[in-house]
Structure 1
């Protein structure tokens, strides 16, 4: 057996395409550890700062009558700025940076040969801190802007020198519209009834004060309804409630005909402004609620094949079961839930945009719609896609988690997400679980 067969497996060495021969190589590697020593403490603490850069040294040589020309080419390659491809005889193709200084040696004993020694490290990557836009703040800013443009629209609101019967008609119509909102959404959010009732009691004085009072009063009503409960389920229902206001028939704009009397035209114009205020303030409140929804960050550890610690898992499960009965905020939105919410919001904004006659308000609503869609997009890319799954038999959630994900610690994706009453007995029913 020939002991030198390993030489046949060596690769022809080169750097940036310049070939050379190799006399020997050496490598340095390890961990970057920093040892901290403290006063009056005998035992130090060593902090692991990660893997050290792998450093190699090559003893290269070129041989032949043109060895000087070959050496010059290799020197030019070594002095070229930036990383380059090195073909290492044993390590293969590497992307490297030259470090320290290289040396070229010539001797009488080794005529027709130049020896070039140089060191290199792995090139690695230039990575900067990742920046991201606070999309929820952008939504709030655009909601404020839309409301400012709505206030500008109300410069046209005027009940001065308007006959009493016109004012009474506007008051009656507005009260009827608000009552319809109450009847429509009382089952979704019972607090709507109390807030709208309070507004109706003071509506006459609010209308007589002017447009700004109307807008601010509506904003206060909607925000009061929103602040009572911050659980995810309730927030989602409120978003749907406020976006649904755009489709109430009584809130549709009244067409002002040229043949209408002046009093009728004024009544329709002012009523249209009030209806616009109701619709737009409802949309801006829906946008702000969207910004309140918790942002979910993908837990990459869930995808690891973690070992199961029965004792700690049991304690975790008991705490989670208790939380189910004490908090309604354990529900997290699925990919499909958020897509459905996005669809309903866009439909409501499109409906309002088709009605908007004022340019500045139109552009403000367009920007707000874009901000909401961007915010939803950032949430979608962080949420796991889900699927419908029906177990074949009653099993513990740990067993189902192991079956679905090869990871028994993901039991919460089954039990908590689907409000399973007892984690030891997941029923045979339709479950919504993350896609494996």
Structure 2
């Protein structure tokens, strides 16, 4: 067992049992305050632990790391240190926060400098994303979409069970949680109109996804085996891949997603490591037919992570509209990364790979408005009595996720974004 995952550990910091950030989690992120420049922090309960300050106080002197790596605006330089260093830093932070260790709590000056209330910091993009891929790996979601737009008896295209479908997206418009998202303009064409028109999307949607971030590079021409993929993955974030369905319908044939997707994707600020998520590994769905050899992988490589989506109208209450789970993924992240690199495409540190919309088999577990309202034919009724077929201006979409086992909850916090009117 990884020692930082020990379920018997307790911190000298008081932490609610419903917190996403117990001592067994310790996710990494980038934060700033009005007096502190962007730097690396770790979430613990309702606080952020400033690793830059800990480095200045020589708290990592037994680890082969330059402490100035924590004084950076992105995690990329820290991630580049390699998995043994990520693990050593997480273990050291765990040691410092345990209730039998007074290296911080016994030093009032250090404690005041390194421990900040989460409510008093601004969270920033955790990584500088060089490359972004969005997969399409939930069989339930793919089946729903295929049923709506094609023959229900042949909802999946012939290649779907043989290959992790994906496409390259635009990295520049990936934004951190809390960043407003403006309704995009684009070309659309109504079925009864002779020509397309340009204007704001009428069918703005969310997509419930989880993304992994790579932490090790490959050379151009090299590939990664599924059983090696874990060594190349730093951690996971929640991911909302906003979508303009009417723009998408008009533009995606024959080449696929473009402006309907590239206007914004939102990520949660805390990167939860695969080490912290190890207790939640489970077997994924049975893959039939058997994948080709380069995608074959036995064992537990999916993750039991509960996912929730809320819509909050302006000045209104949060409305739970979906409960799903990351374990539903047909193609897991190891297979996704193996396929991404199988043609020799080189992997870089900080690359982001989104799962694709995560849907379960029941309507309440669908991961998009497109499915929840079945292409706008079955409106959702919110607690204030208003209806939603797709998202309205001033709606805020909130996604949360966590794994829970043996009384320990490992969470991601949330990813949220408010819809602003089109310009």
TM bracket, shorter-chain basis? under 0.3
Structure having the higher strand fraction is 2
Bigger relative CO (Cα 8 Å, ≥ 6 apart): 2
Q: What is the TM-score of this pair, normalised by structure 1?
A: 0.19
Structure having the higher helix fraction is 1
Q: What is the TM-score of this pair, normalised by structure 2?
A: 0.20
Report the structure number with the largest CA radius of gyration: 1
